[in-house]
Structure 1
Amino acid sequence: MRQGSGGHGAAIRIRVAGGFLLVAHLLFVGWLTLRPLDVPYVSAANLQPFAGIKADLALGPGEAARHLGSGMLLLAPLGVLLPLAGGRLDVSPVASLTRTVAAGALLSLGIELLQTGVPGQVVDVDSLLLNTVGVALAHLAVVPAARARLRRCRSTGRAVAGPREDIPQGSTPTIPRVGIAP
């Protein structure tokens, strides 16, 4: 089997795609959360867990769903992109979930800490909680099923990457030995 075909080449392509999408998503999140805002009034920082969530729930179901959903969706793609960039298929589901949620929580904490120095941005501990829950839910919804499918494809020998795998290859060229000149 040549390099770039079959399982090994597909795994490399998946890792590269995952890494690229991860970097792109993190750049977007950084731009969205760390840019200065020109606002006339900034509320105080929320350092009491669940206070913002309770306030959102008091606004009614529609507003609560919008606020809480946006908090969960911001970092949710990390639940899929972090394991995708890691590229491991044979890993404990609990260890994968733990690693991914811990990384998502640390990234969210880093964003919240960086927001302390950004004009117009407010630190909110509930954002950290919602971001972490979003990462966990996305991971649980996608990663176990995707890994199971990829393991099944690997065990049956079926190509995952697509039609490029069916291209027949010729024999490997040989280089004739050349003697040393007198």
Structure 2
Amino acid sequence: MQRQGSVGGSAAIRIRVTGGVLLVAHLAFVAWFTLRPLDVPWVVPANLHPLAGIRADLALGWPEAARRIGEGVALLAPLGALLPMAHGRLAASPLGSLLRTTAAGALVSLAIELLQTGVPGQVVDIDSLLLNTVGVALAHAVCVPAARVWLRRRTYRRLRTTVRQEDPAQGRTPTIPRVGIAP
């Protein structure tokens, strides 16, 4: 039985499996990148003041600030597209999807920051949490609505050609949404 608004048939399975595999691969990379111990001679103190690290980056000049801020935004940005892809819904509320995805990205970022407290050489930085969350929200806002429109059009065209190929005298079997066929 299929949920309303989800991608139909084998395309749904392919999209969800692909999204799930890419999501796991990206999270494995992020875990390796952010939770590996660093061999450094000293460690800077934790940054628990919002925007203090971003201000310090901006004080270094625009090329270095752009690199550091860009790294923070880009680290978890793929989650903005991969989480909805793994979910596989085409007819989701755009605002609801954005809020759910952003909240999930913020929770993943918070988990990473909390896990970093036990890793030598890694420190907690509240600005990383903010930049990672902004990256997830931006990636979702840029990619997901366009991808959903494209997939809906593709699914609609496929359904239209399927209806044309059926016998016009018989037509399609009427179904009621959310009601399965008896065994």
Relative to the length of structure 2, the TM-score reads 0.82
- Distance (Å, rounded) in 2 between the aligned partners of 1:133 and 1:60: 22
Equivalent residue letter for 1:138: A
SS at match of 1:116: helix
- Distance (Å, rounded) in 2 between the aligned partners of 1:10 and 1:92: 21
| Cα offsets for 1:43-98 (capped at 9, x unmatched) | 00000000000000111110000000000000000000000000000100000000
- Distance (Å, rounded) in 1 between the aligned partners of 2:18 and 2:33: 22
- Distance (Å, rounded) in 1 between the aligned partners of 2:107 and 2:153: 33
Aligned pairs for 1:96-111 within 5 A: 96-111=97-112
Q: Specify the alignment match of 1:10 in structure 2.
A: 11
Aligned pairs for 1:114-133 within 5 A: 114-133=115-134
| Cα offsets for 1:9-43 (capped at 9, x unmatched) | 01110100000000000000000000111100100
| Cα offsets for 1:115-134 (capped at 9, x unmatched) | 00100001000000000000
| Residue 78 (1) aligns with residue 70 (2) | no
Gaps of 5+ in 2: 1-6, 161-183
Equivalent residue letter for 1:45: A
- Distance (Å, rounded) in 2 between the aligned partners of 1:69 and 1:76: 10
- Distance (Å, rounded) in 2 between the aligned partners of 1:147 and 1:91: 9
- Distance (Å, rounded) in 1 between the aligned partners of 2:100 and 2:66: 28
Aligned pairs for 1:1-182 within 5 A: 7-157=8-158
Q: Could you tell me how far 1:7 is from its partner in structure 2?
A: 3.8
Identity %: 71
Equivalent residue letter for 1:75: L
Relative to the length of structure 1, the TM-score reads 0.83
- Distance (Å, rounded) in 2 between the aligned partners of 1:130 and 1:50: 10
- Distance (Å, rounded) in 1 between the aligned partners of 2:32 and 2:156: 42
SS at match of 2:10: helix
Q: Could you tell me how far 1:158 is from its partner in structure 2?
A: 6.8
Q: Specify the alignment match of 2:170 in structure 1.
A: none
Equivalent residue letter for 2:110: L
SS at match of 1:67: helix
- Distance (Å, rounded) in 1 between the aligned partners of 2:68 and 2:34: 15
- Distance (Å, rounded) in 2 between the aligned partners of 1:11 and 1:80: 16
Bigger-Rg structure (1/2): 1
SS at match of 1:88: coil
Q: Could you tell me how far 1:156 is from its partner in structure 2?
A: 1.6
